[in-house]
Structure 1
Amino acid sequence: MTLAPTSRHGQAVWSDSRLLFALEEVVEVELNRHLKAAKEWMPHEYVPWSDGRNFDGVMGGEAWAPEQSKVTDVGRIALVVNLLTEDNLPSYHHEIATRFGRDGAWGTWVHRWTAEEGRHGIVMRDYLLTSRAVDPVELERFRMAHMAEGFESDNGHSMLHSIAYVAFQELATRISHRNTGHHSGDPVCDRMLARIATDENLHMVFYRNLLAKAFELAPDQTMAAVRDVVVGFRMPGHGMPGFERAAAQMAIGGIYNLRIHHDDVLQPVLRFLKVLEISGLSGEGLKAQEELGLYMGGLDAQATKFDERREAMLARRAARIAAQV
């Protein structure tokens, strides 16, 4: 099978099937690296089972109440958002299995990634219910509503768009989990989310390294895909009930906001790949690189304005609390 791309307006154009074939060897290398780096861990070891007791209902236990939760208000909001995101794993599996296939190294990675992500939902739900961190009835109703909607990528329908999206999204998820743990107020929760974040970082490295190879093979197309993904980026849980309000509270609470998105998610991946320094681009690739640079500058300015508003809001809130004491 020839790997030669077709040509359009003097530029090499790679089809998804040719790129999948060309990247297969890199996927195998990255898969083997991942398997050596990934440490086996058991979800049940991170759950405080001795804290558990029956809820009301058929078991005749105690109904949930907010004061039973050990986590902070913003921690509780973020935990629900993070778990509901993990709950949609069947849709994500379908998405990447459709894009990447279920054969060869690609298929082995798709199933391995799915299995590892599955642990995240297991341990988070067990922790939340056992520690009574969140309302179990509301959580289940949100889960049903969110999963019934499913998930479909809105970042283009090429495999390059998919690779670019998950390279940023996995890092965004890692950051969200780590910050949720730090702001949760519960050391047990912090330890659990740190373990999950370690997995998410390994997933990011896998996709980031694939993206690096894609830049070597198809620089113009890959640059355009990265531009599209960065400019239109949304977290996979954006369709869940009450997401906008929850995202706003998480932003103010310092878990995930524009500054974090710019500094801790977009910039690290772009810097590592030297995306804005790549030379030899032509046509759409060069245009995409210029637009990406302009967008990042504008996003940094927006983040600065957000930081100023957030600091003012927190100062007013602290003053009100001090006045009540």
Structure 2
Amino acid sequence: MTLTRSILFSGFRGLQNTKRDSYWPAKEIHFQATHSMPPEKIEIFKSMESWAEKNLLKHLKPVEKSWQPQDFLPRADSDGFYEQVEELRERAKELPDDYFVVLVGDMITEEALPTYQTALNTLDGVRDETGASLSPWAVWNRGWTAEENRHGDLLNKYLYLSGRVDMRQVEKTTQYLIGCGMDFKFENNPYNYEKRHETAYTMIVEKLFEIDPDTTVLALADMMRKKIAMPALLIYDGQDDNLFDNYSAVAQNLGVYTAKDYADNIEYLAGRWNVEGLTGLSGEGTEGSGFCVQVAGED
């Protein structure tokens, strides 16, 4: 039976300005900062291009070796398609509603990929200047986007076939979220961006700590003070308030992603980058390092 709790959970109006024209974003972010990185720091990223080509691009998986959404879904071109869909729907009936709350929230977050690509292309020194730049930073950003695009495709098709959610409401919410955009608090500064990711990104931050430890630890401390802005923070379904908070509460109650997971990630990254052992820092850098270590050590 189709769930009727808005999409599956409460909505989020937030800072909607009813005096604005209808094309105005449903939620607004104020006090945004831009271009906080001085020109000499931009040159550091330019100087890292050969390193990025050698060490970063190898983490992009070739398309022909990558999984695709169709690998996990009924094949529409097969004789058994309808039977496969029926089996999928029967199995989906067994899942609790809260599971679909999380799946919908995750899908909408993934479908807002244009916002993340836009954010990547605001970063000074690493943006894709032409839309098809061969800079290793640009190649990485496009490759990352292409890989991520599969996630939303898979969840979207699964949720549609499951019959468990109001897909039109889901689609409206995705359109709202992309229209709102997102301020990731990068300030067009790659130092502020890189530390938000693990896997390949940990290598970039390690390299930044090697080249410019003072600026890197200050950027890390700055992002910790600001708190990490979650991609779906501005999620809104056109009806209600507090959509993101309710989605987050369900995800935390299910143990999908909890405050402890967040704390564990911070602790892991601070240890991986040896923040506590940094030497030769300025007074401000030493203070920033101490703050990072303190946050990483909090339960």
TM class, shorter-chain normalised? Answer: 0.7 to 0.9
Match of 1:111 among 142, 157, 160: 142
- Give distance in 2, aligned partners of 1:97 and 1:155: 11
Match of 2:73 among 42, 47, 67: 47
Summarize the alignment of residues 108-257 of structure 1 with structure 2, pairs less than 5 Å apart: 108-165=139-196, 167=197, 204-231=198-225, 232-241=227-236, 242-257=243-258
TM-superposition CA deviations, 1:114-152 (whole Å, max 9, x none): 111111111111111112343212211211211111122
Identity, % of aligned positions = 26
Residue 162 (structure 1) shift:
1.1
Residue 224 (structure 1) shift:
1.0
TM-score normalised over the length of structure 1: 0.67
The match for 1:58 is: none
- Give distance in 2, aligned partners of 1:88 and 1:234: 14
Residue 287 (structure 1) shift:
0.7
Amino acid at match of 2:45: L
Greater RCO (Cα-Cα under 8 Å, separation 6 or more): 2
Matched, 1:95 2:90: no
The match for 1:303 is: none
Amino acid at match of 2:71: E
SS in 2 for 1:98: coil
Residue 213 (structure 1) shift:
0.3
Residue 14 (structure 1) shift:
6.9
Matched, 1:33 2:33: no
* Residues 131-140 or 252-261, more deviating: 131-140
Q: Is the 8 A contact 1:48 1:130 kept in 2?
A: no
The 1:141–1:24 alpha-carbon spacing in structure 2 relative to 1, beyond 3 Å, is same
- Give distance in 2, aligned partners of 1:142 and 1:97: 24
- Give distance in 2, aligned partners of 1:105 and 1:126: 32
Amino acid at match of 1:216: E
Match of 1:75 among 78, 95, 99: 99
Residue 70 (structure 1) shift:
4.1
Segments of 5+ residues of structure 1 without an aligned counterpart are 1-12, 54-63, 168-203, 301-325
Residue 155 (structure 1) shift:
4.3
Amino acid at match of 2:53: E
SS in 2 for 1:286: helix
- Give distance in 2, aligned partners of 1:78 and 1:33: 32
Segments of 5+ residues of structure 2 without an aligned counterpart are 1-37, 76-80, 237-242
TM-superposition CA deviations, 1:230-288 (whole Å, max 9, x none): 3311221111120011101211221111111112x222222222222222222221110
Decide which structure has greater helix share.
1
The match for 2:78 is: none
CA RMSD between the two structures? 2.5
TM-score normalised over the length of structure 2: 0.72
